[in-house]
């Protein structure tokens, strides 16, 4: 079965209307139908929560909507990828080498760890990761749809 590691730029699009939301919903539907598996490091929970907080602060959604959307996200039970101390050190090395945020680099290491394709809507992360690991930009998903 195909496994994708989804970063927060994809996960947040499961919940909020943003560019590429249609592609994100297609990913979510495929996951819910059992066509492929989605995984993410635990960091994704914090990043999605922060994205929803920001959406409330900016007046895009209400507090109640944010809580409901976050609960839905948690109920998806996207399998968490745990990294060990050595892998976290590798994350720091990669982030320094590639001039990428430590947070973004965690998704790269998680993808490496389980041998899965990183799925992102983050242009900069995609460009840095694609030469290192299998990576797919969300905008290109339909070209590879299952």
- In the chain, the percentage of residues whose pLDDT exceeds 90 is 90
Domain assignment present for residue 50? The answer is no
**30-56 tens-digit pLDDT:** 999 999 999 999 999 999 999 999 999
* Domain interval for residue 24: 3-10+18-42+79-144
CATH of the domain at 100: 3.40.50.1010
Residue 104 lies in a domain: yes
Model pTM? 0.92
Q: What is the DSSP string of 15-62?
A: TS--TTHHHHHHHHHHHHTTSSEEEEETHHHHHHHHHHHHHHHTTSS-
Query: Is residue 35 assigned to a domain?
Result: yes
* Rounded Cα distance, 117 and 109, in Å: 11
- The span from the CA of 105 to the CA of 94, in Å, is 7
Q: Is residue 66 part of a domain?
A: no
Q: In the chain, how many domains are there?
A: 1
d(CA 130, CA 96): 17
Residue 61 lies in a domain: no
Question: Is 55 a member of any domain?
Answer: no
């Amino acid at each position: 079965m195909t496994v994708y590691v989804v970063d927060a730029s994809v996960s947040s699009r499961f919940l909020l209307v943003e560019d590429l939301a249609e592609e994100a919903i297609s990913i979510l539907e495929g996951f819910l139908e059992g066509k492929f598996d989605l995984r993410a490091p635990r960091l994704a929970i914090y990043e999605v929560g922060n994205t929803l907080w920001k959406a409330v602060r900016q007046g895009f959604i209400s507090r109640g909507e944010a809580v409901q959307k976050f609960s839905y996200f948690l109920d998806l039970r996207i399998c968490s990828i745990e990294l060990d101390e050595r892998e976290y050190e590798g994350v720091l090395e990669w982030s320094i080498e590639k001039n990428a945020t430590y947070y973004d680099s965690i998704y790269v290491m998680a993808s490496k760890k389980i041998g899965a394709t990183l799925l992102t809507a983050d242009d900069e992360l995609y460009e840095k990761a694609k030469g290192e690991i299998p990576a797919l930009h969300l905008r290109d998903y339909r070209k590879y749809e299952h």
